[in-house]
Each structure stands twice: as structure tokens, then as C-alpha cells.
Structure 1
């Protein structure tokens, strides 16, 4: 799959900008604050219908403008595909594929597989479990729409159950029959999501470990561990056991929304015991494993975005990564950096065709 061209209107700091891309490596270079990352984010927007960096949709519209449009022309399975994402203030976002709007955005997820590696990924290590759950969900959802629908349904029921718990507390009442209905639905959707996550990680963890070994030259042992309350028992039973606690807290305290991924290096949490370089290598290995998994599931080379790849990595590790992604098993790659000469020198090591865009 190849992104042939990109055009932006009123997107972030761009009023109007167009690009015609190389089929292999594209380097977006320029000073800080000039919009390199925004170009990569626009490409991400076309795949996921949202920004990777700013969840508030209207904040992606250029200041003092009323709308933005991101337009991408692709070749996928030898067929041309046009995807347009647009947003007007006060209206709903629109995603169109070949001129036809999607009724449900979730139907678009996975059509344009993509993996991004960015300094913002450090949140996976330093922030709470919800960030790591979102990572798992984004990987599985790109190749499994049933999983995505079960997850959406679970979160809807969870919000309803939490609202009911608040209502009970406010009105000093309780109805076990109503709670039981929500418990049934949470169990149905939640158990399906848990099983998929477990199966996914059984496949994903060995891929991740192999990628880390390649980046670090096999010098360190790393591990991922899946932590879920559903390993302790059936979700319905867990919900029933925790009902008094839930009534007191006024929210649901057990379920797949409490799942987490534990990141370890040499059997210790990487958050506390990993250097900045080790943490960055860990995150890149995670994302390259994500690439491998999505490619295996979809049969399509995902687009790979490398945002500020040189940040907190020595040149040796960067060279290792560029050599890895320069292999024919990878498809189209986009790299942002502040130093044009450094980028070009490193990219030449991949022995692939490339284009440098100076902003």
C-alpha cells in the first residue's frame, strides 16, 4: 500500500500544502515548530479519522479558520483509493472513501493500516494503564472489526452501569435485577475482548522480543506481561463479588477496563530501571512488532511513520533501525527530523529510493 499524494487545507499550521511522495522513503525535514510532525499526523488522520497527538478535533483546524480538509491518494492492491477527512466547526467530522461517506467511522479502521513511532509513545511507559490498553486495542482493531465492535459495546454498557451506580447512590436505592442485566452484557463483551487480547499477546510477545534483540544487539532481556482480573475468574462472578465496593465507589471497579501491560527489562519495571535509550528501544520494538503483526493479519505492508526518530537514541541504534526498516519486508516509510544532512546520511544506508522534503 502506497500513499501517492497528500493535500492539506487549513490543517494545523498549514493553510494549503501538497506533497507527491516516494514509494519507499520520505524524509520531512525542517526546524522545530515548522510542521514536520503535523504532516505525519495528517497521514495518521487518514488511517484513523483522528489525530495521534491532539484528541480535540477542532484544535486541528488552523487558527481563525472554519474547517480543515486532509486528502490522500493511495494505491492499495493495485487499485487507486482516495480518502478524505474533513471537519467544519459546529458539525460532525466526515470521512469519505472514493467519494462515499462512512456511516460508522469504525468501518474505516484497518482499511489503511499504519504504525507510528513518536516521542509521544513514552506515555506508554510513564502514564497509566489506559494508554497501554489503547495500544493493544489499536493493534488488534486494525485487523479485527468484531473485536472493535465488542470493545465499543463493552464501553457503552460500562458507562451505563456506572451511571446507574451513581443514580443508586444519589437516590439511596438499589435494584439488583437491573445491575444483573448490565453484568450479563459486560460479561458477554468483556470475556470476548479478554480472550482476543490473550490470544494476541501470545503471538505478539515473541515478535516483540525478537525485534528488541535486533535493535539492542541482544544485550538486554525484556518482557511483556498481560495483567487482567479475568485471569482470577469469570467476569460475572467478579462483578457480583465487587458489588458492595462498586456501590460505595459509584463506578465499576473490576473488568477488562482494568487490564494492563507490564513492561520489564532484566525482570524489573523499565519505567524505573531502564535508561532513556533502553526505553526508546523498547518502544520502537513494540511498534515494529505491531507492524509485523498487522502485516501478517492484513497481508498489506502498513505505512510506517517515524517521528523524530533521532530523539534520545545514539546514531548506532538509529542506524540499526534504519537498516531494519529499509529491508524489503517494509513498505512506505515517512521520517521527520530537524537535520536534513543527518537524515539523508542515515537513510542512504538503507539502499532504497528516497525523497527529502524541506519545510
Structure 2
């Protein structure tokens, strides 16, 4: 599976682009602020129906314009498949496959898997649990449609329960029968999500540890701890125990929506005790493990997006990553960088077809 063509109109700082790609390596060269990362984001949009940079779709519309349109032509199993994403002010987002609009965007997730390694990955370490839950959910959702459907349903039930709790709080009342209706649904859905997250991490952690040892400067004892209220006991019993407290708070305080991943090095949180280099190795290993697991489960290699990594990583880590590229461990790869000479030096030892594009002045030109 690979992306053959990309076109975009009014997407972020790009008025119009029309590009054809190599099935192997594609490089976007240009100064900062010229829109290299935005091109990766357009590719990401075709896979996930959303930006990896901005959760608000309309903010991806070029300034002073009223819409954006992204089209991509994929080659998959010797078939050509066209995907389009359009966002217009005042209208809902439309995603089409071969000109037929999806009724539910969830139907699209996992069909064109993509993994991105970017400077924004540091958010996985420094930000709150919500970021890490989204990371694990995005991986599982690409190969398990049932999981995504269950997660969507859980969040809807959670929203309804929270609205009821807020009403109880404001009116200073409590109706046990009303809350139990939502409790039963939350427990049923939450148990499924917990089991699937737990099973995924059992498979994911050994692969992650393998890649950490590959990209790190030296061997370290690293692990990932899965923290969930459901490991503490029966979910239904917890909801019952905390129902009065939840009413006082006005929201649901127990459940899988509070799950977190704790990244550990030598038994201590990498956020506090890991060096900058160790944190970088940790993040790269997370993404490479994501790539391998999705590849195995979907029986196809995801598209790999490498955003500005040559500037952010030291030479040794870049060299190890490029060794994997040279061994054809990956399929189609997209790279952004500010330095054409540096990119040439990185790839000069790798005998793989590549296309280089110059990005600047609202133009993207093949060089």
C-alpha cells in the first residue's frame, strides 16, 4: 500500500499543490514555516480524517478562504483507490472513498494506516493522561473496528451519565434508578475496552523494548505500566461506591476514561528521571513498535511520516533509524528537513529510490 498522488486546495498555507510520489522515499526540503509539516498533515488527514496538529478542522482552512480539499490516490492490493477530505465553513466534514461518502468516519480508520514520528511526540511524555490514551486508542482502532465502535459508544454513555450527574448536582437531588441505567452500559463497554487495552499492551511492550535497545546508546531497563481503575476491582462496584461523590463533583470519576500509561526507566518515570537522549529513544521506540504491530496485524506496512527528525535527533539515532529504512523494514516513507545537503548525506549510503521536493513561497517543486 502506498500513496501515489496528493492534491490539496486551501489547506493551511498551501493554495494548491499537485504531487506524485515514489513508493519508497519522499523528501520535502524547505525553511521553517514554509509548509513542509503541513504536507505530512495532509497525508495524515487522508488516513485518520483529522489533523495530527490541530483538533479543530476549520482551523486548517487557509486564511481568508472558506474551505479546504485534500485528494489522495492510493495503490492497495494492485487497485487504485481515491480518498477525498473536504471541510467547509458552516458544513460538516466530508470524507469520500472513490467518490462515495462515508456514513460514519469510523469506517475509514485502518484502511490506510499511517505512523508519524515528529517533535510533537514529546507530548506523550510531558502532557496528561488524555494524550497517552489517544495514542493507544489510535493504534488499536486501526486494526480493531469493534474496539473503535465500543470506544465511541462508551464516550457517548459517559457524556450522558455526566450530564445526569450535573443535573443532580444543580437540582440537589439523586435518583438511583436513573444513574443505574447508565452504570450498566458503562460497565459493559468499559470492561471490553479495558481487556483490549490490556491485551494490546502485552503484545506491544516486548516490541517496544526491542526497538528501544536498537535505537538507544546503551542498554536500559525500560517498561510501560498500565494504570486503570479496573485493575483495582469490579467496575460496577466502583461506580456504586462513588456515585454520591460523582454527584457532588458533577462528573464520573472512575472508569477507563481515566486510564494512563506510565513510561518507566529503571523503575522510575522517564518524565522525571530520563535524560533528553533517553526520552528521545523512548519516543522513537514507541512509534517503531506501533509501526511493527500494525504491520503484522493488518498484513500491510503503514505509511511512515518523519517530521524534522534529522534536526531533532543526534547522529547515532538517525543512523540507526536509517539502517531500518535501508533494510526495507518500512514501506513508503515521507521525510521533512530544512537542509538538503544533510538529507543527501543521510541517504547517500541507502540504495533506495527517492524523490525530493523543494517547499517554499506557496510552491512545492520536484528537484
Query: Hey, what does 1:316 align to over in structure 2?
Result: 316
Identify the range of structure 1 (69-78 vs 216-225) with the bigger mean alpha-carbon deviation: 216-225
Query: Hey, what does 1:7 align to over in structure 2?
Result: 7
Query: Hey, what does 1:265 align to over in structure 2?
Result: 265
Deviations 1:269-298 (A, max 9, x none): 111111222211111110010001111110
Alpha carbons 1:276, 1:312 under 8 Å: kept:
no
Query: Hey, what does 2:362 align to over in structure 1?
Result: none
Instruction: Output the CA distance in 1 between the equivalents of 2:347 and 2:53.
Output: 26
Query: Hey, what does 2:175 align to over in structure 1?
Result: 175
Query: Hey, what does 1:354 align to over in structure 2?
Result: 354
Give SS of 2:309's match.
coil
Q: CA deviation at 1:216?
A: 1.1
Alpha carbons 2:113, 2:303 under 8 Å: kept:
yes
Query: Hey, what does 1:253 align to over in structure 2?
Result: 253
Alpha carbons 1:323, 1:349 under 8 Å: kept:
no
Counterpart check, 1:138 vs 2:172: no
Alpha carbons 2:169, 2:249 under 8 Å: kept:
no
Deviations 1:212-264 (A, max 9, x none): 10111542221111111101111111111111211111110000001000001
Alpha carbons 1:129, 1:261 under 8 Å: kept:
yes
Equivalent pairs, count = 359
Aligned 1:183-198 pairs, distance under 5 A: 183-198=183-198
Deviations 1:296-330 (A, max 9, x none): 11001100001011243211111111111332231
Identify the range of structure 1 (303-312 vs 146-155) with the bigger mean alpha-carbon deviation: 303-312
Instruction: Output the CA distance in 1 between the equivalents of 2:45 and 2:344.
Output: 26
Query: Hey, what does 1:76 align to over in structure 2?
Result: 76
Query: Hey, what does 1:114 align to over in structure 2?
Result: 114
Instruction: Output the CA distance in 2 between the equivalents of 1:224 and 1:324.
Output: 24
Deviations 1:189-211 (A, max 9, x none): 00000000000000000000001
In the alignment, structure 2 segments of 5+ residues that lack a partner are: 360-367
After TM superposition, the score normalised by the length of structure 2 is 0.96
Instruction: Output the CA distance in 2 between the equivalents of 1:325 and 1:282.
Output: 19
Deviations 1:23-75 (A, max 9, x none): 10111110000000000000000001111001111110101111111110110
Alpha carbons 1:277, 1:312 under 8 Å: kept:
no
Query: Hey, what does 2:238 align to over in structure 1?
Result: 238
Alpha carbons 2:265, 2:274 under 8 Å: kept:
yes
Identify the range of structure 1 (340-349 vs 68-77) with the bigger mean alpha-carbon deviation: 340-349
Query: Hey, what does 1:98 align to over in structure 2?
Result: 98
Alpha carbons 2:29, 2:339 under 8 Å: kept:
yes
Deviations 1:140-165 (A, max 9, x none): 00000100010000000101111101
Query: Hey, what does 1:220 align to over in structure 2?
Result: 220
Aligned 1:40-59 pairs, distance under 5 A: 40-59=40-59
In the alignment, structure 1 segments of 5+ residues that lack a partner are: none
Identify the range of structure 1 (87-96 vs 210-219) with the bigger mean alpha-carbon deviation: 210-219
Identify the range of structure 1 (209-218 vs 188-197) with the bigger mean alpha-carbon deviation: 209-218
Instruction: Output the CA distance in 1 between the equivalents of 2:86 and 2:277.
Output: 38
Query: Deviating runs (4+, > 6 A) in structure 1?
Result: none
After TM superposition, the score normalised by the length of structure 1 is 0.98
Give SS of 2:177's match.
helix
Give SS of 1:23's match.
coil
